[in-house]
Structure 1
Amino acid sequence: MDESGHVPVEVLIVAIPETAGSALYGMIDVLSAAGTLWQSLVRTEPLRRLFNVRIMGSTRVSFRCENGIPVIPDVSLDDNPRADILILPEIWLGPDEVFKGRYPEIMEWVRKQYRRGVVIYAACSGVIMLAETGLLDGCEATSHWGYQDLFRKQYPRVRYSPEPNLVFADPAGRIVTAGGTTSWHDLAIHIISRHANPGEALRIAKVYLLKLHGEGQLPYASLVRNDPHADALVRSCQEWLREHFMKTDAIGQVVAYAKIPERTLKRRFKSATGLSLIEYLQNLRVEHAKTLLEQSETPVDEISVSAGYEDASFFRRLFKRSTGLTPSQYRRMFRPLLQI
């Protein structure tokens, strides 16, 4: 409580050895600056700390998280700390790694906090920690787009959606998940707006030059990934399609290449990859188009033909559905990056 009687919102951020230090300390910095940093810079308002942010570890023993970044927990599980907000930041976890069974004491503690009424936020791969608690079962959630296959295989009860950057798991908003690596920016702005006030969230965004990713994750996501599976025939068909996706009758030709009935191939392809045959082909074509938009000034109609679509209007609709942007918007967003 400060001199005016204001009580800061209590925030706990869970840190484990897999935690990404940039997300951990970035969130601490931004939330801790709310109510003080803008006010110090413009010298027009009294300073008032809006959030009290602490790091919680399994114990109070200091450790190094990923990339050797030191972490000194303020509180531990044994302290049974209370808070208004609990944050699970990004962790370093490969898309083929398994998180199941790790840190059962923390998982139970997180469930206990939810039962207490704490609002829980998770960013990027930190959502995997939240999924491990079971609190996301039956709920919609997002995480980094690279974890689609992980959620499909390891947490099938979570309604995983890679498109949005922020997702409310419940109508009351007591569980909120955020998407890609820097989505903690969006999450921090959301937390300040919701638990302090929208004006302060805007001021913090201006000071830190933070940008809300209203376009979601689709423009950034790779539509083609080599997710491992055991079906050798499907892998061979995937390789064939990567070489011949621009062919007008690519589906018919890959069926002939596979030498099995079309229905059988489609069933096996979906089972192995999680995508239908036509979805995989369309993804290859859109990725090809994205590369041309990023690296050339080739007109969109010509890109459409090179991707295998004579109908440019259909191609534009497909591209917008796959990336959330029109081809022209995508080019404006990403081509400048190659000119830096």
Structure 2
Amino acid sequence: MSILSLPESGTMAAFGLHEVLNDAGKGHGARPLEARLTARREQAFNSSTGLRVTPQQDLGAERADVVIVCDIHLDQSDSPEGRWAEEIIWVRSHLDSGALVCSTCSGAVLLAEAGLLDGAEAASHWTMADLFRDRYPSVTFRPERILCDSGHGGQIVTTGGASSWQDLALYLIGRFCGAEEAARVARLFLLGDRGYGQLPFASMARPRQHSDAVVSRVQAWLVDNYATPNAVTAMVERSGLPERTLKRRFKAATGYAPVEYVQALRIEEAKQMLETEDSAIEEIGAEVGYSDPTFFRKLFRRRVGVTPAQYRQRNRFRGLAQ
């Protein structure tokens, strides 16, 4: 992957993409990604924010499978005309060779200047609306979009907003490494919908190691039977212990009360289904063990911090990007 940074670019997207994308695939059996900072010349330059950028390669480097054009800071009096001639040729050659071409925030201006967005929709920073209207009237500007399929048979993806590089990073990881890896990276870097805090990204805490053979046997049974009606009662029956004894030993061994453990397993499975399946929310609730849709929604929101619908809306593209 090549992350194209210009002197007119900031460093948030370039540096953020570089760190996040290069973390993908580490230690999880997923395909590792390699992202390199790219510029016209392999020489350090000052970004638009004044920070120093040291490219890892220039435009003559080996062709990449994915090209990402970072944000471009333009004053209202600045015109794109005549700018970025070498970069435009470079991007076009990658598109012609089958590469995926992406932009973050106002980086879509370079793609529009290259004529690559004509007749298509495009996302970009909302402050670019006037420029797109006046200079690129054949492009349908979508300032409300975060991630936008911008034509060429899905070969161009544009994103809107200064922090949309995060959504692009998760999309690319989901597409090339799988939904599970995208979810891992989202939790690790706290990416995604940050308006609800950290709770939507939290996974079930790994139960502590213990030597209680009875509790271990019940845990092993729950892996495939968490949706069983009256699961706690079934756990007690399988354990052969009095209910109070099992609850005490289960809590001591795992750190969870039995009902909390069952709920955590069910909600984790529901999250995976919401990310990767089209089933109705009521159907997902029933499949993980909750026949009452209202109770399922309330429990999900209490444990995850958002409703099932909100969770699906925010995380759905990760599962589809494989």
Query: Where do 4+ consecutive residues of structure 1 move more than 3 Å?
Result: none
The answer to whether structure 1 residue 51 and structure 2 residue 33 are counterparts is yes
Aligned equivalents of 1:120, 1:171: Cα separation in 2: 10
Matches within 5 A, 1:1-340: 11-36=1-26, 39=27, 45=28, 50-77=32-59, 79-170=60-151, 172-212=153-193
Report deviation, 1:203: 0.7
Superimposed CA distance per residue, residues 57-99 of structure 1 (whole angstroms, 9 cap, x where no aligned partner): 111111111222111122212x243111000011222345312
- Higher RCO, 1 vs 2 (CA within 8 Å, ≥6 residues apart): 2
Can you list the C-alpha shifts for 1:270-299, whole angstroms capped at 9, x where unaligned? xxxxxxxxxxxxxxxxxxxxxxxxxxxxxx
Which residue in 2 is equivalent to 1:234?
Answer: none
Per the normalisation by structure 1, the TM-score is 0.55
Matches of 1:165 and 1:213, distance apart in 2: 14
Q: Which amino acid aligns with 1:50?
A: P
Supply the RMSD in Å over aligned alpha carbons: 2.1
Normalising to structure 2: TM-score of the pair? 0.58
Question: Matched residue of 1:146: which SS?
Answer: helix
Partners of 2:88 and 2:114 within 8 A in 1:
yes
CA spacing shift, 1:213–1:191, aligned 2, 3 Å: farther
Question: Residue by residue, what CA displacement relative to the aligned partner does 1:251-285 show, whole Å, maximum 9, x if unpaired?
Answer: xxxxxxxxxxxxxxxxxxxxxxxxxxxxxxxxxxx
Amino acid at match of 2:117: L
Gapped regions of structure 2 (runs ≥ 5): 196-309, 311-322
- Counterpart-to-counterpart distance in 1, 2:193 and 2:181: 15
Cα distance change on mapping 1:95 and 1:208 into 2, 3 Å: farther
Structure number with larger C-alpha Rg:
2
Give 1:134 deviation, angstroms: 0.7
**2:42 counterpart SS class:** coil
Indicate how the Cα distance of structure 1 residues 98 and 213 shifts in structure 2: closer, same or farther if over 3 A, else same.
Answer: farther
Counterpart residue type for residue 19 of structure 1: S
Write the deviation string for residues 71-128 of structure 1: whole angstroms up to 9, x where unpaired.
1122212x24311100001122234531221121111111111001010010110111
Shift of 1:49: 6.6
For 1:58, the aligned partner's letter is R
Report how many aligned residue pairs link the two structures.
196
Q: Which residue of 2 aligns with 1:283?
A: none
- Counterpart secondary structure, 2:35: strand
Secondary structure of 2:34's aligned partner: strand
Q: Secondary structure at the match of 2:49?
A: helix
**Structure 1: unaligned runs, 5 residues or longer:** 1-10, 40-44, 215-328, 330-340
Work out whether residues 144 and 179 of structure 1, in 8 Å CA contact, stay in contact via their aligned partners in 2.
Answer: yes
CA contact (8 A) 1:33 1:49 kept: no
Instruction: Tell me, yes or no, if the aligned pair for 2:6 and 2:70 is still in contact at 8 Å.
Output: no
Secondary structure of the residue that 1:35 maps to in structure 2?
coil
- Rounded to whole Å, the distance in 2 between the matches of 1:175 and 1:144 is 17
Asked if 1 retains the 8 angstrom alpha-carbon contact of 2:31 and 2:177, the reply is: no
